[in-house]
């Protein structure tokens, strides 16, 4: 079993060390996170030849990692600036809203999303859409930054603990411009409790795993402690498998492409 699969302290240390340079050296951070995410996904399913949809794929770091894994990869991005941040844009890239995915039911073997739900006003709609476009037996993986964790306010942290709008106003006052992630518009307070509620409210999918994405396995018991889990989790990962007998939900052609 690899170090990532064991969710060790040394893995957590490397991730948090890279996390410190997210703003100053995004290539280093997102490349490391993408590689780690591939290793996590492989605990649940094979990626070789799999059709993968990445909801909120961003500027291509995950595209490289999924291509190296042998997957057939399609990124969806709502923000063109994010999609083109590294220059080139993949011919498979799709501009769309994650809560209204422009794909037929049952189209992908793996539907993936990394650190997107906290930027979506209707998280439940996005998760339902992710399940809808997953094939019967397909895997759905969604991870997001927890609001009351140390990085919940993103670049406005740690002032978000005093309130999202207050942190936003402070950032604007100190830096002379709005933050990239604007509370109430492009960033929302998503809790562990909300994620656990979403995890259990999907009749078409079975919950496979819920865990703190970056933390070592020895700390996962924290999810059983209300209040503490909101501060300590940092980032929550939710994994479902679409039920083989789940019927199409949208009325769209359910034939896989």
In the block, residue with structure tokens 């998760």: 127
Confidence of residue 78 (pLDDT cuts 50, 70, 90): confident
Whether the pLDDT of residue 64 is over 50: the answer is yes
Do 18 and 46 sit in the same domain of this protein? Answer: yes
Pick from 90-104, 109-123, 163-177, 196-210: least confident: 90-104
Tell me the pLDDT tens digit for each residue of 89-117: 566 788 899 999 999 999 999 999 999 99
Do 199 and 176 sit in the same domain of this protein? Answer: no
Terminal-residue alpha carbon distance, the chain: 34
Do 113 and 15 sit in the same domain of this protein? Answer: yes
Residue 253 lies in a domain: no
Pick from 147-156, 206-215, 243-252: least confident: 243-252
Residue 248 lies in a domain: no
pLDDT of residue 257: 38
pLDDT of residue 256: 39
Residue 112 lies in a domain: yes
Do 140 and 119 sit in the same domain of this protein? Answer: yes
* pLDDT averaged over every residue in the chain: 89
Give percent above pLDDT 70 in the chain. 89
- CATH number of the domain bearing residue 48: 3.40.50.150
Do 41 and 134 sit in the same domain of this protein? Answer: yes
Domain count, the chain: 2
Whether the pLDDT of residue 9 is over 80: the answer is yes
Residue 257 lies in a domain: no
Do 181 and 108 sit in the same domain of this protein? Answer: no
Residue 115 lies in a domain: yes
Do 161 and 119 sit in the same domain of this protein? Answer: no
Residue 151 lies in a domain: no
* β-pairing verdict for 51-55 and 72-77: parallel
Do 40 and 110 sit in the same domain of this protein? Answer: yes
Residue 28 lies in a domain: yes
Whether the pLDDT of residue 2 is over 50: the answer is no
Do 35 and 51 sit in the same domain of this protein? Answer: yes
Q: Distance of CA 180 to CAs 58, 89, 145, Å?
A: 14, 21, 16
pLDDT of residue 26: 76
Residue whose C-alpha is closest to residue 240's, from 41, 3, 33, 61: 41
Do 94 and 161 sit in the same domain of this protein? Answer: no
Q: What are phi and psi of 51, to 5 degrees?
A: -85, 115
Residue whose C-alpha is closest to residue 223's, from 214, 239, 212: 212
Residue 251 lies in a domain: no
Most confident of 1-10, 27-36, 53-62, 216-225: 216-225
- Tell me if 51 sits within 8 A of 107, measured CB to CB: yes
Domain residues for the domain of 50 are: 3-146+190-242
Do 124 and 200 sit in the same domain of this protein? Answer: yes
Do 99 and 181 sit in the same domain of this protein? Answer: no
């Amino acid at each position: 079993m690899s170090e990532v699969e064991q969710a060790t302290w040394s893995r957590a240390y490397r991730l948090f060390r890279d996390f410190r340079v997210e703003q100053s050296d995004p290539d280093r951070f997102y490349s490391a996170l993408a590689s780690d995410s591939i290793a996590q996904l492989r605990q649940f399913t094979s990626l070789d030849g799999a059709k993968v949809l990445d909801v909120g794929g961003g500027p291509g770091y995950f595209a490289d990692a999924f291509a190296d894994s042998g997957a057939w990869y399609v990124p969806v991005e709502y923000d063109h600036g994010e999609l083109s941040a590294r220059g080139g844009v993949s011919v498979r890239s799709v501009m769309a809203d994650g809560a209204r995915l422009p794909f037929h039911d049952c189209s992908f073997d793996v539907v993936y999303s990394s650190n997107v739900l906290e930027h979506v006003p209707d998280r439940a709609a996005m998760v339902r859409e992710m399940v809808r476009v997953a094939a019967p037996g397909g895997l759905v993986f969604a991870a997001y930054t927890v609001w009351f964790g140390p990085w919940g306010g993103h670049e406005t942290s740690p002032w978000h603990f005093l309130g999202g709008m207050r942190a936003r106003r402070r950032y604007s006052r100190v830096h002379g411009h709005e933050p990239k992630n604007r509370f109430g518009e492009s960033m929302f307070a998503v809790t562990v409790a909300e994620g656990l509620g979403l995890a259990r409210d999907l009749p078409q999918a079975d919950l496979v795993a819920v865990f703190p994405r970056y933390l070592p396995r020895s700390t996962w018991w924290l999810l059983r402690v209300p209040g503490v889990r909101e501060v300590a989790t940092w980032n929550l990962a939710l994994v479902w498998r679409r039920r083989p007998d789940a019927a199409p939900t949208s009325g769209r052609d359910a034939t896989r492409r």
